[in-house]
Structure 1
Amino acid sequence: MLEGLDAWRSMPAAQQPTWGDDAALAQAVQTLRKSPPLVFAGECDELRARLAAAARGEAFVLQGGDCAETFSGTNADDIRDRIKTILQMAVVLTYGASLPVVKLGRMAGQFAKPRSSDVETRDGVSLPAYRGDAVNDYAFTAEARRHDPARLVQAYHASSSTLNLIRAFTQGGFADLRQVHEWNRGFVGNTAKARYEVMARDIDKAMRFMDACGADFDALRTVAFYASHEALILEYERALTRIDSRTGDPYDVSGHFVWIGERTRQLDGAHVDLLSRVRNPIGVKLGPKTSADDVLRLIDKLDPDREPGRLTFISRMGAERIRDALPALVETVASAEGQVLWICDPMHGNGFESPSGYKTRRFDDIIEELRGFFEVHKALGTVPGGVHLELTGSDVTECLGGYEQIDEEGLAMRYESVCDPRLNHQQSLEVAFLVAEMLGER
């Protein structure tokens, strides 16, 4: 079992850091191997069962969080605001879908990012690209951009701190359904959007009805909240893979749900091999050039037993391409038996650089891709199982549009992302109301 977990070392491994110091890397890996698990196998099994329900159309998945977490962002206020945003969205989606919502944070591990180029050039100076705080620093200096293995240990501790706060907030009354609903009422009051006000009033009526019926609101003060991230840095993921004492199976205890990115899903590659051997529920990002053969071979490699809840495909097609590119893949997967969960990532296929040099996305493009996702599944009679969003709980100005009508000039006001643009708090809630409408139309 343990020997198989290292088979990836003989395979092509895309997007890996160039550490340059073998002794420092060995020391970091050894520290991680001795560190306690960040999550537990039983929690991963519980999530797998919930994802299986979503694949059957009996639940809906909300996956959201930062594009790239930073060590400086590992503080109580930032983590609280991200959780608050996801909880607010989940209440609206629960009402719209009339289904439980699985809350899956892009949190507590999203400290590394793949890059399209190994170098970044500014004013004629070229340095290694920023690959996330788990690898190097964002500051544009030679020392800051050096790939430092000690940062892997920092990423572990930052993930541990984040998980501690997540558990405290979601189990300590912060997630109380009544309180979250009041937050949403405040949002609706500020938008002047009558369509959102109608849904908020309907939710309010449902809450009063539950209260009149003697619903146990104390039981609604806590929620299950799971952590996910892209399993990018293989030394980190392998060091945090442990054998479960109950079953003897390997689990990647760096997070409940880990996914393989579009740039690292090579069928003969190291990422697919390592994740094929762990028992976590796993995901794979699929871009518009994905072929039917690709998805069939990924299923055979990652989910050979066709286990419900095991495999999630996360489409990232772009608003202009999803209606053409997605149907053939969904049909192919449906014919392969099993229960693969489909989630839509409407962020990564819609990015572009603004004239002022900011990486951004249009809110309307994000919504259009989501509409296309739901339309494809409705036409095929398959299940649109969830959404995957890059978002923050802060009032940043990184994506154009939304009811605030952030324009080109507005991007400079509070553009804080160190990588890709995120929906701000208000835009995230607006997405939730619009997706709730789509869920109601299924």
Structure 2
Amino acid sequence: MLATVMNDLDAPRGHGSAWRGRPAFQQPVYPDAAALEAVGADLRSRPPLVFAGEVDALRSQMAAAADGRAFVLMGGDCAESFADTSATSIRLKVQTILQMAAVLTYAASTPVVKIGRMAGQYAKPRSADTETREGVTLPSYRGDSVNDHAFTPEARTPDPARMLEAYLRAGTTLNLVRAFTMGGYADLREVHLWNRGFTANPAYKRFESFAEEIDRAMRFMEAAGVDFEALRQVDFYSAHEALLLEYEDAMIRQDSRTGRLYGTSAHMLWVGERTRGPHDAHVALLEGVRNPVGVKLGPTTTPEEVSSLMDHLNPEGEPGRLSLITRMGADRIREVLPVLVEAVRRDGRPVTWITDPMHGNTITSDNGYKTRRFDTIMDEVRGFFEVHRALGTVPGGIHVELTGDDVTECLGGGEHIDEQRLAERYETLVDPRLNHQQSLEMAFEVAEMLQV
């Protein structure tokens, strides 16, 4: 995280909560309204998790990515769990993102904006409100900040107190991430050595020459007297989907410097494909905060919808404010994306284009696992780059569900996870993630695209 002055942020007085009364989708039904109100009041009294100066700095970096002066790398769990907030788990996710960023920085010759999909990704939209097993129907699992994954009536009943636990877990995660990224763990020399270890694996030998190029560049920097001690710290930001309206509303604070409102649950917040109606509650909530915001766009998105979203979320065309995160599917992106890119270019207001190659490519394996194919994921990334290169626009970044652990959730990759291996370490509670090795493999492949 940025080492910055902690701005005076207070719970806003008279905040209109403009989202109330708007259509609100994917929200849990809490059985105790009084308990929900009490949790909201409790959250409003607590300190912010991020600060206005940090948010402003990220907005500037997102603006740089929009015009090709930076590249965004956003990665982390599909849905964080309370049980998986150990120091080791957090460290491995941070390490994976740092390793990917080092490769991408060299390839793009521009700064990489490092954003963890972490410290707040405790809620997930679901395709159905209920789940049925053996004739028993219960509410769907919506993430640990809503209910528990266990299939019992008690576990699946939405509990507002879980939002307080989410706040505490997010705070401890952010604290540890700050310690790692500001305390020397992000030393570029160490990160490079980790990547050399990756390319030493015969499964990834084709990337060895690329790693050697970086090695020569590192030796040149050292010979030229570059102060590597100054490179031991990095800016690392947090982001998550602003799904739980009551939680996000309770985390809005007012900056005493400017009087403006900030969502302080994360540096960046996004609206998902299922909740992005321009006149709906989630968009209304994000209209009022100064954070950089994103919107997920699926293959049915129309130019008119994108224009309306821009009108609501960035009417003045402020650079770095709005990112459009495309999740089209590898079989649709080359067909659908050009129309949207052309519409945005005609509009003239800046956006940062980011690809999410995960959500449009989910399949079910023959043995029943929800999974994704690495080759298909990479095909969507290639399609994203191809469209932007053909139109002369900027591919601004990638948004990936990943973990630093050696899970077996996505098929393929250099070490070739097949359907039989999925059962070995299939640990996700919702969607499949790239493991550490697959994430680094993606970084090297994207690096090749950035060098074209």
Counterpart in the other structure of 1:351: 362
Counterpart in the other structure of 1:220: 231
Counterpart in the other structure of 1:129: 140
The answer as to 2:325 corresponding to 1:314 is: yes
Q: Distance in 1 between matches of 2:441 and 2:16?
A: 43
The answer as to 2:415 corresponding to 1:404 is: yes
**Are the counterparts in 1 of residues 70 and 112 from structure 2 also a CA contact under 8 Å?**
yes
The answer as to 2:299 corresponding to 1:288 is: yes
TM-score, length-scaled by structure 2: 0.97
The answer as to 2:425 corresponding to 1:414 is: yes
> 1:112 aligns to what SS in structure 2?
coil
**Residue from 396, 399, 404 that aligns with 1:385:** 396
1:194 Cα deviation from its structure 2 partner: 3.4
**Are the counterparts in 2 of residues 362 and 399 from structure 1 also a CA contact under 8 Å?**
yes
Q: Distance in 2 between matches of 1:53 and 1:432?
A: 20
Counterpart in the other structure of 1:207: 218
**Residue from 26, 46, 49 that aligns with 1:38:** 49
**Are the counterparts in 1 of residues 78 and 433 from structure 2 also a CA contact under 8 Å?**
yes
Amino acid at match of 1:12: P
Counterpart in the other structure of 1:429: 440
**Residue from 249, 268, 277 that aligns with 1:257:** 268
**Are the counterparts in 2 of residues 228 and 255 from structure 1 also a CA contact under 8 Å?**
yes
Q: Hey, which bits of structure 1, 4+ residues long, moved more than 2 A? A: 1-5, 191-195
Deviation string 1:173-214 (CA, Å, 9 cap, x unpaired) is 100000000000001001443320010000000000000000
The answer as to 2:118 corresponding to 1:107 is: yes
**Are the counterparts in 2 of residues 318 and 369 from structure 1 also a CA contact under 8 Å?**
yes
**Are the counterparts in 2 of residues 5 and 274 from structure 1 also a CA contact under 8 Å?**
no
1:125 Cα deviation from its structure 2 partner: 1.4
Amino acid at match of 1:408: E
Counterpart in the other structure of 1:6: 17
1:267 Cα deviation from its structure 2 partner: 1.3
Q: Distance in 2 between matches of 1:194 and 1:437?
A: 15
Amino acid at match of 2:386: E
How many aligned residue pairs are there? 441
Instruction: Specify every segment of 5 or more residues in structure 1 that has no aligned partner in the other structure, as ranges.
Output: none
Counterpart in the other structure of 2:99: 88
> 2:83 aligns to what SS in structure 1?
coil
**Residue from 56, 76, 81 that aligns with 1:70:** 81
Instruction: Specify every segment of 5 or more residues in structure 2 that has no aligned partner in the other structure, as ranges.
Output: 1-11
Q: Distance in 1 between matches of 2:85 and 2:354?
A: 27
Counterpart in the other structure of 2:164: 153
Counterpart in the other structure of 1:276: 287
Deviation string 1:223-248 (CA, Å, 9 cap, x unpaired) is 00000000000000000001110000
**Are the counterparts in 2 of residues 228 and 256 from structure 1 also a CA contact under 8 Å?**
yes
1:385 Cα deviation from its structure 2 partner: 0.2
Q: Distance in 1 between matches of 2:120 and 2:15?
A: 24
Q: Distance in 2 between matches of 1:30 and 1:301?
A: 28
1:338 Cα deviation from its structure 2 partner: 1.9
1:303 Cα deviation from its structure 2 partner: 0.2
1:8 Cα deviation from its structure 2 partner: 1.0
> 1:7 aligns to what SS in structure 2?
coil
The answer as to 2:72 corresponding to 1:61 is: yes
Q: Distance in 2 between matches of 1:355 and 1:25?
A: 42
1:366 Cα deviation from its structure 2 partner: 0.4
> 1:88 aligns to what SS in structure 2?
helix
% identity of equivalent residues? 64
